[in-house]
Amino acid sequence: MTLPTHADVLRAAARIAPHAHVTPVLRSRSLDALAGCELHFKAEPLQRAGAFKFRGACNAVWSLEEAEARAGVVTHSSGNHGAALALAARTRGIACHVVVPEGAVAAKLAAIEAYGGILHRCAPTIRAREEATVRVQRDTGATLVHSYADPRVIAGQGTAALELLNATGGLDVLVTPVGGGGLASGCSLALSGLAPACELLLAEPAGAADTARSLAAGRPELDFVPDTICDGLRATLGAPGFELLRAYGARVAVVEDDDTLDALRLLSSRLKLVVEPSSAIAFAAVLQQRERLAGKRVGVVLSGGNVDLGTLAQWIR
């Protein structure tokens, strides 16, 4: 397993600069007062395709040699990564194949197709998904870009933390959500070269707390059935994520979904930002850890805002 490095994050930043947004860093004195610390929110809902996922996808797509690139890319994802990879592939004018399980949310599939992605449907099992992915690779020669285990993806996600560090001039603590670990470990790489004393706090749903268990045990503990509204955080921690987060000494805050929804409402009403639960959880972790964070400069990566409006309406009403 090749692990990406801080230098890879710097290279990713240069590579994606022509395509990705440098998203704003938002402040709110009322949320600062509520949390008892100085908050700097990295607003990735304002990233292209509505989530940080575009960073990693874009870095992967533009890392390919010309000959590789011509055969396109492939991934399996029914969520933000599929749409982000389709959009990234479009920025290079290459094909993007996305293997999706039958029964996936129609709106997500429509987003992938809207960005020009080619859908390949398969039965909703891991085995069917892997077979379908291998088949597409064999038939098309497309390069696999895994949503959180690919080193190019991890390095790309780290650019969010790089920009946040540059915009704020330094942080005591960085808070990110953790699911498969692509964003979290990419951020650990950004910190390692620029701000190695900065604490990395991971926000993880109680119903999918494999990262908390794995880091506590010192080995991957991935056997669980996810049960959380944070649909972007249901994946199990990837092997590179585990190594990088352990090496950095990341801590985990385990958060209940009800607290995540409270945080989502606060971000809607005070920060005026539409976020998905998988993002709001990072702010919920801040509120949970307010004693430890008191008076500190805290960066919070709000990772994405792709949420069905009807569902959002139910959460905020």
Confirm or reject binding of residue 268 to its own copies (CB under 8 A). yes
Candidate list 56, 151, 177, 305; residue touching its own copies; CB under 8 A: 305
Q: State the Cα–Cα distance between residues 125 and 99, nearest whole angstrom.
A: 12
> Per-residue string for binding with its own copies, 34-73, x by CB under 8 A?
-----------xx-x-x-----------------------
Interface segment toward its own copies; rule CB under 8 A; list 22-30, 64-72, 159-167, 285-293? 22-30
Interface segment toward its own copies; rule CB under 8 A; list 9-17, 211-219, 235-243, 304-312? 304-312
Other CB atoms within 10 Å distance of the CB of residue 225? 7
Candidate list 3, 21, 68, 101; residue touching its own copies; CB under 8 A: 21
Confirm or reject binding of residue 93 to its own copies (CB under 8 A). no
Report the nearest approach of its own copies to the CB of residue 119 (Å).
19
Report the nearest approach of its own copies to the CB of residue 67 (Å).
29
What sign has the CA pseudo-torsion 98, 130, 144, 252?
positive
Q: State the Cα–Cα distance between residues 218 and 27, nearest whole angstrom.
A: 36
Edge-to-edge strands, sheet with 118-122: 118-122, 96-101, 73-76, 143-144
Scanning 49-125, the segments in alpha helix (DSSP H) are 53-63, 66-70, 80-92, 106-114
- DSSP-derived letter for residue 178 is -
Candidate list 275, 285, 286, 301; residue touching its own copies; CB under 8 A: 275
Closest to 26 (Cα-Cα) out of 293, 285, 253, 283: 283
Confirm or reject binding of residue 273 to its own copies (CB under 8 A). yes
φ, ψ at 169 (rounded to 5°) = 75, 20
Closest to 81 (Cα-Cα) out of 135, 149, 17: 149
Reported residue count of the chain is 317
Confirm or reject binding of residue 90 to its own copies (CB under 8 A). no
Residues in contact with its own copies, counted by CB under 8 A, come to a total of 25
Report the nearest approach of its own copies to the CB of residue 58 (Å).
14
Report the nearest approach of its own copies to the CB of residue 34 (Å).
12
Read off the amino acid at residue 26.
L
Confirm or reject binding of residue 105 to its own copies (CB under 8 A). no
Helix (H) or strand (E) holding 314: helix 309-316
Confirm or reject binding of residue 203 to its own copies (CB under 8 A). no
Q: State the Cα–Cα distance between residues 153 and 145, nearest whole angstrom.
A: 8
Report the nearest approach of its own copies to the CB of residue 24 (Å).
4
Confirm or reject binding of residue 106 to its own copies (CB under 8 A). no
Confirm or reject binding of residue 196 to its own copies (CB under 8 A). no
Strand partners, 74: 97, 144
Q: State the Cα–Cα distance between residues 5 and 244, nearest whole angstrom.
A: 9
Confirm or reject binding of residue 269 to its own copies (CB under 8 A). yes
- Which positions from 1 through 20 interact with its own copies, judged by CB under 8 A? none
Binding interface with its own copies (CB under 8 A): 21, 24, 26-27, 29, 45-46, 48, 50, 265, 268-269, 271-275, 305, 309-310, 312-314, 316-317
